[in-house]
Amino acid sequence: MRSPVLAIIGGTGLEEFIDVGSRYFKETMFGTVNYVLGSISDVDILFIPRHGFKHENPPHKVLYKANIELISAHNISKVIAFSAVGSLRYDLKPGSIVIPNQLIDYSLHGETFYDFDSFHVDFTFPYCRDMGLKAYQVLRERGLDVKYGYTYVSTYGPRFESAGEIDMLRRMGADIVGMTNIPESVLAREAGLHYMLISIVSNYAAGMQDRVTSEEVYDVMASVKPKLKDILHILVEVFADFEPTDGCSSFRDVFRDFREVRRI
Ligand code: HPA
């Protein structure tokens, strides 16, 4: 088996688009990760279902550190993450695909690799700009309707938000809401990974429609699967040989040293 060149973190369901090579359970000091090494369009990838293969990890119990550590241990530098989000704007309808470029932390999750060292990563641009813009450009060229440049707000979950919270979050400048991008994107930055997010709008957020249900989220996610398959194939082909030059990787050496000292 060749070494994977990209990591994909997916919600449940994306696995069916991968030529699965082998499945693994790997113990890390942050928990046991269940993952797949396989390929998409003949590009070797590592795939982690964020919530587990049986959707057993709710958003606040996802093994975020173990997932990011696993990607680093495979010497992979580029990550494409997928996740469902609610929309805070009527012009972003359910079924829309959005590549966010900004992030607000309303989760107070606080998870970090640097619990014991005083080290602060730059998070001015939370997502890899080179990857995000390249993805947007290529997907548009291929005729796919995707949007770029919105602000994701991360809540703690697992409950959906109240209408009052959504009203406040909209005034704060948020466009889409999800429960996992904090701490996932923070840990990716701490590990010096190039990390981008494809978010799939599954519903209007609380207060913008009668009520928010998990069933609706699953139904919309199922309906966009053919589009996600195209997106996944295109992005894997594009990013296999793409070398981002923005600052995301500046923290990789610090993380490497940190891993050695802590013997992760
Ligand atoms: N809120 C938070 N997370 C979500 C939502 C939502 O409305 N939809 C999908 N993930």
CA of 6 to the centre of ligand 1 (A): 26
pLDDT along the chain (264 residues), means of 10: 89 83 89 94 95 89 95 95 97 97 95 87 96 98 97 97 98 98 97 97 96 92 94 96 90 84 66
Domains of the chain, by residue range, sit at 6-263
pTM for the complete prediction?
0.96
Q: Whose CA is nearest to atom 6 of ligand 1?
A: 86
Confidence at residue 260, expressed as pLDDT on a 0 to 100 scale? 78
Alpha carbon distance 180, 246 (integer Å): 24
Four-residue CA torsion sign, 55, 58, 61, 65 = positive
CA of 239 to the centre of ligand 1 (A): 28
Confidence at residue 16, expressed as pLDDT on a 0 to 100 scale? 87
Long-range contacts of 55-60 (CB under 8 A, 24+ apart): 55/12, 58/157, 58/158, 59/156, 59/157, 59/158, 59/179, 59/180, 60/109, 60/156, 60/157, 60/158, 60/179
Alpha carbon distance 2, 35 (integer Å): 16
Confidence at residue 1, expressed as pLDDT on a 0 to 100 scale? 61
CA of 139 to the centre of ligand 1 (A): 24
Confidence at residue 247, expressed as pLDDT on a 0 to 100 scale? 86
Confidence at residue 21, expressed as pLDDT on a 0 to 100 scale? 83
Confidence at residue 264, expressed as pLDDT on a 0 to 100 scale? 56
With contact defined as beta carbons under 8 Å apart, do 252 and 192 qualify? yes
Confidence at residue 201, expressed as pLDDT on a 0 to 100 scale? 96
With contact defined as beta carbons under 8 Å apart, do 107 and 182 qualify? yes
Residue from 165, 175, 217, 218 whose mutation best tests the ligand 1 pocket (most atoms within 8 A of CB): 217
Q: For domain 6-263, which CATH number applies: 3.60.15.10, 1.10.10.10, 3.40.50.2300, 3.40.50.1580? A: 3.40.50.1580
